[in-house]
Amino acid sequence: MSRPTPLRGVHEALGATLTDFAGWLMPLRYGSEAAEHNAVRQAAGLFDLSHMGEIFVTGPQAAEALDYALVGYISALEPGRARYTMIVDRRGHVLDDLIVYRLTGEEFMVVANASNYPRVAAELTERAQGFEAVVDDRSERYGLIAVQGPRSLEILSELTDADLNGLKYYAGLPATVAGREALIARTGYTGEDGFELFVAAGDTEPLWTALTKAGEPYGLLPAGLSARDTLRLEAGMPLYGNELSAELTPFDAGLGRVVRFDKPGDFVGRAALEPLKDVPPARRRVGLVATGRRVPRHGYQVVSGDGTVVGEVTSGAPSQSLGRPIAMAYVDTGLSTGLAVDIRGSREPVEVVELPFYRRKK
């Protein structure tokens, strides 16, 4: 049975289409997916992300424990800053991609994907053994709301006196928002500027209501999973279970930059990953733009001119911003022309492009 977020009643009152996602009951859409997508690109969208996991690691050696547990150089983070990183197994295969916030010198918050956070918490607990560090999965205590889009700063400024202009990308700031204590983060998964608000679960609904009211004059709309998926696809951002999996390494995904071999000491997966850093992977992650109107979908095969299978689509959807179907795929390294996607027996030509498909105007 799907677990509800603290905003279930809000979603139902708004007439959302609800669906199971990673064991959670989540809004797929509230009305028009295109309208929700375009609101984020042109004004702002409001997302319920309360299904994500919040795992705290604290103690005198919390930084060292995370350096060992993850591929990133976490101890190099300044308090108030965040880093995108990954947790891998001893083969170097990705168990999850994460954002780690350093809240204070000895306190970190690890944000994990909904489908993976119980395993991430268990792995961190095991890997922290021998360090003066405590791992505490606080996911049940938190709600998480994101406001994303070019008007997001103006909207959030209506509800807080925090220095949002001074908040850098990939940073976090404790603040009061609409009278509620929150951690304001500036990361995002849409390709737009925006903010995430980590709050006590009981404060999630009042904060959503306040943001909705503040955002109404700016064109803010609630946005569901469908819009979130098309936005992150246009931005070329990977999704665990699609572009990332326990069968791939960070280098396979073109994200080897997150693996920090320059940090002190060993880390889980280092021995497996180090030989891969200078070796081109057999397949690379690319963008595909369809020349026709049919949409390449997850699992569809990419073929060469003679019909040889040379890759596989990991995510695909119509692009509101480009006006054409787009996809991400893993394709044999070195191939960039003359490709097509096999869509139900029909070879639909595609162009290979560099990611991302969309970049916001600065």
Q: What is the pLDDT of residues 234-277, one digit of tens each?
A: 999 999 999 999 999 999 999 999 999 999 999 999 999 999 99
Q: Would you call 198 helix, strand, or coil by DSSP?
A: strand
Q: What SS3 state is found at 271?
A: helix
3-state secondary structure of 266: coil
In the chain, which residues have pLDDT < 50?
none
The whole-model pTM stands at 0.97
Q: Determine the residue type at 254.
A: G
pLDDT at 288: 98
- The pLDDT value recorded for residue 270 is 98
> What pLDDT shows up at residue 361?
80
pLDDT at 1: 83
Tell me which residue has tokens 């951002």: 237
The C-alpha atoms of residue 105 and residue 127 are separated, in whole angstroms, by 20
d(CA 206, CA 218): 19
**Residue environment code for 62-93, b if the CB has 16+ CB neighbours within 10 A, otherwise e:** bbbbbbbbbbbbbbebeeebbbebbbbeeebb
204 sits in which H/E element? helix 204-215
